[in-house]
Structure 1
Amino acid sequence: MGAGAAAAIRVHDLNYTYPDGTAALEHVSFEIEKGESVALVGPNGAGKSTLLLHLNGILHSKTSRGAVEILGEPINPKKVHKMPKKIGIVFQDPDDMLFMPLLADDVAFGPINLGIEKDEVKRQVKDSLLRVGLAGYETRVSHHLSGGEKKRAAIATVLSMDPEIIAMDEPTANLDPKSREELIEILRTLKDEGKTLIIITHDVNAIPELADRVIVLEKTVIADGTTREVFADSDMLVAAGLDVPTIMQFFEVLQAFGYPCDVLPLSIDGAVKNLTETIENGSGHLHLHIHKHTHTEVGAVRGKYQHHRTAANCPK
């Protein structure tokens, strides 16, 4: 970030305690630059959604301490109604965002409340629905949409206000494979357009496609780095009850069979590139073999990721 340039999001020593006295956030600090795409991960109850609600001023009380700045300006509780133009929040349950008679009304709700002129609102509604693959759905009843369509509709309600930052809570949760891929493609496009994205997710297989950076939260920030750096720290991931992309696990098993791979791929695209280069270097062949330590090494890999799954299922 250049000298004097404002971060998209700056959080400094943020603390929040629930009314019952339970600490939800403790000394949380980080910065996100404009145009960055960041995954926010952590076990259930880690404070991820609570943090998200602080980013646009929805959750602000006497039990909050610390500073949150959006595009260089501190959150002002008296001006929360203006925040959607800066940062849009897409909630995990799209029904929390779809409450008008027709989908066009839902998508128009935000721009109308921002005081945008009627003709411009119509244009933004049409454009936002087009961007999420719901062109022509203006007169549909929102609650009659499929789960995947509702997720995309919820994103459209935010896009219609054209915020510089978009924060999403579990965007791919509870979707079938086709709907998940459609949603991921929308997020990829937003990333390519230069939108600043912060994505809460447990979908570790989607993270390499969507985020260049990962922040691990467990009431406080316990890790912050590139996607590769964070997923390479298996001890930290186990301690936090988190997993790594399935493709990384598979290539660790391949290593036990003699596959030459110093850097594990994070995604299918990375795997295809890695395999292609390895086969080309092997004169068109892939050489795997079983040696005396193979079964031990495979068992170690399986045990490590069984540990991940066990940790993830343990109550916190």
Structure 2
Amino acid sequence: MSYAIRAEGLVKRYGDMVALDGVDLEVPAGKVIGVLGPNGAGKTTTVRILSTLLRPDAGRATVGGHDVVRDPVRVRRLIGLTGQYASVDEDLSGTENLVLLGRLLDLPKRDAKARAARLLEQFSLTEAADRPLSTFSGGMRRRLDLAASLVGRPQVLYLDEPTTGLDPHARGEVWDVVRSLVDDGSTVLLTTQYLEEADQLADSITVFDRGRVVAEGRPGELKRRVGGQILLARPSLPQDVPRVAAMLTELTGTTPVQDGVNGLLTVPADDPLLVSALARRLAADGIGTDEMGLRLPSLDEVFLALTGHPATTDDEKNDDTTAERTAA
């Protein structure tokens, strides 16, 4: 198998804070690898090392066979990077942003204009090409930012939390762009806190926690690894939730988890016959449900099982960037 990215034993410290603690990573060419983890897990630090913006304190990494420390110039010729925040110039139009980047990459003026026009068309931005960015929506800006990272025709694209702060519609637009890039043969390393995003886009997932890789595999493999399937039921009437919970406990021997918002009950269950058994019990007692069935665990449940805490928390502030500022 051909690997676009290989990293072995990466270590990075900021003073007494360890951002990476022996990270190994392999990304096959032409695939999307999702790097999943909460703020502070080491995702952005890894991307910065792989894009030659940081030097590791220990370990080794190659991109396209070139060492990121010994041969950074060749690595930079192979890669594109879209960070957590848009890097395009707010005072320029979409066309002007892309042409400027093309010229900075030593493209002749005519070639830079042609490349800009093609990318604007590819990202459905042609009609807005000459408008200032201040008139762009969040999704349009993010698409332009992705287009900017492709001006140099990179073989490997790093997307570091590309949909942070976007609404669901804009996020879906970015997902469509990523899928089209992979269809064209690009290799994508995607870091994200959005579990649904990794589930939708990634061929394989690497889970980071506290600077280490704690699991890796295809989304389905990770889901199966943490305990098979989940039996779920959501009674139509809120007053039936306790009775259905008692049925699930009796059938599985495990007390179900209850979502207090919508009354959804979930419990681990590997036996597919439990669905029909539950259906018979519900019918006999005249209880209706809006939802019932078996499913694999969600990536959120996988992350909780692997790390002991959710993938995202509202009050988590200790991200990789904060670590760098603190160390500085």
TM-score, normalised by the number of residues in structure 2: 0.70
Question: Is this contact kept in 1: 2:36–2:198, CA < 8 A?
Answer: no
Question: How far apart, in 2, do the equivalents of 1:22 and 1:160 lie?
Answer: 36
- Give ranges in structure 2 of 5+ residues lacking alignment: 235-243, 249-275, 319-328
TM-fit CA distance, 1:174:
1.9
Residue 12 of structure 1 deviates from its aligned partner by 1.1
Q: Which residue of 2 aligns with 1:253?
A: 232
Map of 2:273 onto structure 1: none
The structure with the larger Rg is 2
Q: CA deviation at 1:165?
A: 0.8
Checking the alignment, whether the CA contact within 8 Å between 1:92 and 1:171 is kept in structure 2 is: yes
The answer as to 2:163 corresponding to 1:184 is: no
- Once the two structures are superposed, residues 128-159 of structure 1 have per-residue CA deviations (whole angstroms, 9 ceiling, x without a partner) of 11111111333222233211111111001011
Give the residue type in structure 2 aligned to 1:92. Q
1-structure distance, mates of 2:71, 2:216: 32
Structure 1 residues 287, 164: CA separation in 2 closer, same or farther (over 3 Å shift)?
farther
Question: Quick one: distance in 1 between partners of 2:27 and 2:98?
Answer: 27
Displacement of 1:23 in angstroms is 0.6
Query: In the alignment, is residue 30 of structure 1 matched against residue 35 of structure 2?
Result: no
- Quick check: 1:129 aligned with 2:120? yes
5 Å-filtered alignment, 1:1-316, equals: 1=1, 5=2, 7-18=3-14, 20-60=15-55, 64-76=57-69, 79-80=72-73, 83-94=75-86, 96-98=87-89, 101-218=92-209, 219-234=211-226, 252-253=231-232, 289=279, 291=281, 308=304, 311-312=309-310, 313=313
* Whole-Å separation in 2 of the counterparts to 1:78 and 1:34: 20
Q: How far is the alpha carbon of 1:226 from its aligned partner?
A: 1.0
Native 8 Å contact 1:167 1:197 kept in 2: yes
**How many residue pairs were aligned?**
261
Measured in 2, the distance between the counterparts of 1:99 and 1:116 equals 22
Cα contact 1:57–1:77 (8 A) shared by 2: no
How far does the alpha carbon of each residue in 1:231-256 deviate from its partner, in whole angstroms, 9 at most, with x for none? 33448xxxxxxxxxxxx99x641599
Contact 1:169–1:200, Cα closer than 8 Å, also in 2: yes
1:53-88 Cα shifts (integer Å, max 9, x gaps): 11110112xx622111110011147744x5443111
3-state SS, counterpart of residue 217 of structure 1: strand
**Secondary structure at the counterpart of residue 188 of structure 2:** strand
TM norm structure 1: 0.72
- 2:126 alignment partner, SS class: coil
Deviations 1:12-55 (A, max 9, x none): 1111011x321100111121111011100012100101111111
Preserved contact between residue 67 and residue 75 of structure 2 (Cα < 8 Å): no
CA distance in 1: counterparts of 2:78 and 2:231, whole angstroms: 42
Change (3 A) 1:195 1:222: same
CA 1:252 to 1:168, structure 2 compared with 1: closer, same or farther past 3 Å? Answer: farther
Q: Is the 8 A contact 1:100 1:106 kept in 2?
A: no
3-state secondary structure, aligned to 2:19 = strand
Q: CA RMSD for the aligned pairs?
A: 3.5
Give the letter for the 1:91 counterpart: G
The one-letter amino acid of 2:5's match is I
Q: Distance in 2 between matches of 1:107 and 1:231?
A: 41
Structure 1 or 2: larger strand share? 2
